[in-house]
Amino acid sequence: MMQPPVTQASPTRTSTAPVICDFLRPFACSRVGRAQIASSRRFAWIAGLVVAMLAISSLAVPPRAAEGKGIRFWNLTLYTITALQISPAGEDRWGPDQCKNDRDGTVDHDERLRITGVDPGRYDVKLADRSGRVCIVRNVEVKDIFSIEEKQLTDCRK
């Protein structure tokens, strides 16, 4: 005849591993079970690393690319602008005519113009309008939407 197994009182446990083995026996405490747990821990660590890398790389997106519409100029002068060039502040190195980005090649009063090839910062802006004026506005903060008003046109010639 077979004798029933003898149960022994377990000593006080200082770690949770035996408790887990008691709870999940036989799967978690078998060699296969331990390998699967180790494998899932590795997977979780790698997945966490990938998520962290994606989060960091999303911070590196330039601001104008993140917004989708880029930088735009808002004409708040009295006249239609026929030419608009941008230079780094104080350098007189004028870039291409930004009015060419518009369908009709001009920027009417209260119209917005998409600006290309320029990052946010401080720039000098040179513009020509339909009245025949050519004006330079110095130290303009170029950002997602920037404007020039009539009262800013103090350095003009005809």
CATH of the domain at 153: 2.60.40
- Considering the domain architecture, whether residues 87 and 47 belong to the same structural domain is answered as no
- Considering the domain architecture, whether residues 55 and 72 belong to the same structural domain is answered as no
Residues 94, 118: Cα–Cα separation, whole Å: 12
Closest CA to 123 of 98, 156, 151, 150: 98
pLDDT surpasses 90 at 119: yes
Percent of the chain with pLDDT over 70: 66
Residue type for 18, please?
P
Whether the bond into 63 is cis, omega within 30 of 0: no
Cβ pair 73, 113 in contact under 8 A? yes
Q: Establish if 152 belongs to a structural domain.
A: yes
Which carries the bigger pLDDT value, residue 39 or residue 135? 135
Q: Establish if 151 belongs to a structural domain.
A: yes
Structurally, the chain folds into a number of domains equal to 2
The helix (H) or strand (E) run that includes residue 87 is strand 81-88
What's the average model confidence in pLDDT over 104-132?
Answer: 96
Percent of the chain with pLDDT over 90: 56
Q: Establish if 11 belongs to a structural domain.
A: no
- Considering the domain architecture, whether residues 86 and 48 belong to the same structural domain is answered as no
Banded pLDDT at 131 (limits 50, 70, 90): very high
What's the average model confidence in pLDDT over 100-109?
Answer: 96
- Considering the domain architecture, whether residues 84 and 144 belong to the same structural domain is answered as yes
- Considering the domain architecture, whether residues 28 and 102 belong to the same structural domain is answered as no
Domain region containing 27: 17-59
